[in-house]
Structure 1
Amino acid sequence: MNAQQAEVYLLSKPESSIDYPFGDEVKVFKVKGKMFATLAIGKMGKGDDEGKQDWWMNLKCDPNEAFALRDLFEAVIPGYHMNKKHWNTVILNGSIPVGEIERMIDNSFSLVVSKLSKKDQKSILLHL
């Protein structure tokens, strides 16, 4: 999955929107004003120490699953600039199957929606 595909998939979630609270380099995806993903080139739009320009996507994750995914995939690391217990960074370098990335996005979205008010949850669940 590349960055454009990720963005399209993130924005396909019901009532999702994009915001730029950290500057133009970091796309923040929200549902009902709550962040469920970020997308940037490398470390918050800066690339990595070796000058690589892979896109990095932060996703919320169940803590137990977060650690398991880091063990399974080299391109999944603790959430960059995030709570490392609840967030993973997925490096979009082509090494993770598209279906697995979509599943991680779905889980992040669901975790955030589950913390919304019952009214907001119902309005979103109507679209799933």
Structure 2
Amino acid sequence: MSENYRDMIIGHALSKKRAVSSFPFDDTTEVFKVSGRIFMLVNKEEPFEISLKCDPQRAVELRSMFGFIRPGYHLNKKHWITVAVEGSMGIGFYEELIDHSYQQVVNKLTKSEKDELRDTE
């Protein structure tokens, strides 16, 4: 399960417009960015976890509903969540969280960055 979900999650993140990935911190933390801003971090080791930007109110709700979602590990606890990908949820659940994270970052881009992103359509 884990490898298949890992591939699908990484593929979904990279399918986002102008998304790129790199390993700027170490060999085990893959960082996904749009316009130079992080929207997802993936732990390449077990347990398989992803960290995502999240609306603060939604983050509180998600953490209260799901035991596998906790405040962002080594990140701003108000704006980030860390999700243990354990396969108890369908892939669509994780994809929606990635979409939300990506949109949180895009919403904070400058007008010129948003225009540049739009011009790549």
Tell me the residue number matched to 2:29: 26
Give unmatched runs, 5+ long, in structure 1. 46-52
Do structure 1's residue 77 and structure 2's residue 67 form an aligned pair? no
**For residues 69-96 of structure 1, what are the alpha-carbon distances to aligned partners after superposition, in whole Å with 9 as ceiling and x for unaligned?**
1111121111101011100001111022
SS of residue in 2 equivalent to 1:23: coil
**For residues 90-122 of structure 1, what are the alpha-carbon distances to aligned partners after superposition, in whole Å with 9 as ceiling and x for unaligned?**
111102222221111111101111111112213
Q: Match of 1:18, as an amino acid? A: S
Task: Provide TM-score, normalisation by structure 2.
Answer: 0.89
Does the CA-based 8 Å contact 2:5-2:91 persist in structure 1? no
Does the CA-based 8 Å contact 1:36-1:108 persist in structure 2? yes
Tell me the residue number matched to 1:48: none
When the two structures are aligned, how many residues end up with a matched partner? 118
What does residue range 1-128 of structure 1 map to in structure 2 within 5 Å? Answer: 2-41=5-44, 45=45, 53-125=46-118
**For residues 46-68 of structure 1, what are the alpha-carbon distances to aligned partners after superposition, in whole Å with 9 as ceiling and x for unaligned?**
xxxxxxx2211000000000011
Give unmatched runs, 5+ long, in structure 2. none
Within 1, Cα distance between the matches of 2:119 and 2:47?
35
Moved over 6 A (4+): none
Task: Provide TM-score, normalisation by structure 1.
Answer: 0.85
Does the CA-based 8 Å contact 1:73-1:96 persist in structure 2? no
Q: 1:93 to 1:85 in 2, by over 3 A?
A: same
The sequence identity of aligned pairs, in percent, is 37
**For residues 12-43 of structure 1, what are the alpha-carbon distances to aligned partners after superposition, in whole Å with 9 as ceiling and x for unaligned?**
000000011111110000001100000004xx
